[in-house]
Structure 1
Amino acid sequence: MTTSRTVTLTAIAAGLYVFLCWAFADGLFTGNWWNTDDIAGSAVFTYVLLGLIIGAGFVQARRLPASWSPPRSRTDSTPAGQVDDPVFWKLLLGNVYLSILWLPLRFFVGREWLTAGEHKLRDSAWMDGGTALVAPGEAMGFWERIVVIPEQGRPAITYGWYRDFLQYLIDQEWQSGFAKMIAIGEFLVGVGLVVGALVGIAAFFGTLLNFNFLLAGTASTNPLLFGLGVFLVLGWKVAGHWGLDRWILPALGTPWKPLPRFMSEPSRGGSREAVG
């Protein structure tokens, strides 16, 4: 890995983040600079995250090890019968020097969950009684609308077992607890992804929410977030390296051995060598 390659990776990461924000989330660059009613959706947040991507690339370029080269072929240590992964895929999922490429996915997906969670946390329909799911009187909440089988056309829910599951929750009047759990869960998923804390777990629960929303017949951004979330789950070892996972995972004993510190330290001879 060289400084020029790091600059290239940083440019790719920044470009990917800009593309995701432009193509799949309107107004993130041109909306209100600061919106107290939607802090996570404020434009300043977009530029801060973009700046963090560029800053991470700058720091990595300055702290590169003295020498590093990626493996180019199958190694003799591959067990017999083991199907080896392509080199780039292996590096992407397990090399900290390419972890900057995970930042745009983390920031974009995390930002979407933060925005959704913040909106629900501020809404009494989600946090006070769960009327967003089951409404009193003649009004109909989300669960009530989607379990209805229309006389004509297709129902919102394709699978009968999932419709029965939601109907059971309605009959048990569990909407209040589930509404709070959804709102808090969405917000925590967003926080975990943005700050890089237990990224694999946060992304998994994010995809679980997406999966349930899709089963409920709600498309919206769920297909996109589900797909990106799956990639984040696969890259759990290094996706949070530029975040709290740099310290959390080694402290937990995963990925099964501590990562070497990404700092320069003096060698025994007095010279300084980078430790990757």
Structure 2
Amino acid sequence: MLELLRRNNVVAGVLAVIRIYLGYSWITGGWGKITGGGFDASGFLNGAIAQSTGENPAVQGWWATFLENVALPNAGLFSFLVMWGEVLVGMALILGLFTNFAVLMGMTMNFAFLFSGTVSTNGQMILLGIFVLVAGANAGKFGLDRYAMPYLKVQYKKITHKETTKKTVEA
């Protein structure tokens, strides 16, 4: 099964559709926040903190402590990171550029939203993201990763070869 996910061209096409769907979901969410007249995460953060009390809290205490002591005092920074993070993850997934990193960052945001007590499409996006992540390079085969990753590998080899040669000469 893993081999099928990582090597098959038909699966690569299906993964491209999933990747583009996820990218579209992220980019539209982020763009709406950017163009919507000033997104402020503090209301969301306060709501999540409020859900951490009571008989059956939707938000765990450790996460509420993080939100209250780190995120809420820096709500402006977190608002910026969410807006632009969503747009950049969306763009990368649509283009198929740095696909694995983009889907990992998207899943990180999905988990943060889930930890904060929202369900929405986060679970679905995480599930689809797992397929993209496990598929590795095959998920970006029909995207810019097809060109960017071989180029970066060559550049990395050049850099590491220079360092190896330099160490050999110095010894």
**Partner residue, 2:57:** 155
The 5 A counterparts of 1:99-248 are: 99-126=12-39, 132-134=40-42, 141-148=43-50, 153-157=55-59, 159-169=60-70, 173-248=73-148
The structure that has the greater radius of gyration is: 1
Deviation at 1:183, TM superposition (A): 0.6
**Alpha-carbon distance in structure 2 between the residues aligned to 1:150 and 1:234:** 33
- What TM-score, normalized by structure 2, do the two folds share? 0.82
**Partner residue, 2:6:** 93
Deviation at 1:96, TM superposition (A): 4.5
Q: Alpha carbon RMSD of aligned pairs, Å?
A: 2.3
The answer (yes or no) to whether the contact 1:146–1:155 under 8 Å persists in 2 is no
Equivalent AA in structure 2 for residue 154 of structure 1: N
**Partner residue, 1:266:** none
The structure, 1 or 2, with the larger RCO (C-alpha pairs under 8 Å, 6+ apart) is 2
SS in 1 for 2:118: coil
| Number of residues of Structure 1 aligned to a counterpart in Structure 2 | 156
**Alpha-carbon distance in structure 2 between the residues aligned to 1:153 and 1:188:** 38
The answer (yes or no) to whether the contact 1:197–1:240 under 8 Å persists in 2 is yes
Gaps of 5+ in 1: 1-85, 127-131, 135-140, 258-276
Deviation at 1:236, TM superposition (A): 2.2
Larger relative helix fraction: 2
SS in 2 for 1:161: helix
Equivalent AA in structure 2 for residue 111 of structure 1: Y
CA 1:154–1:125 in structure 2 vs 1: closer, same or farther (change >3 Å)? farther
Deviation at 1:103, TM superposition (A): 1.5
The answer (yes or no) to whether the contact 2:89–2:106 under 8 Å persists in 1 is yes
Deviation at 1:203, TM superposition (A): 0.3
- What TM-score, normalized by structure 1, do the two folds share? 0.52
Gaps of 5+ in 2: 158-171
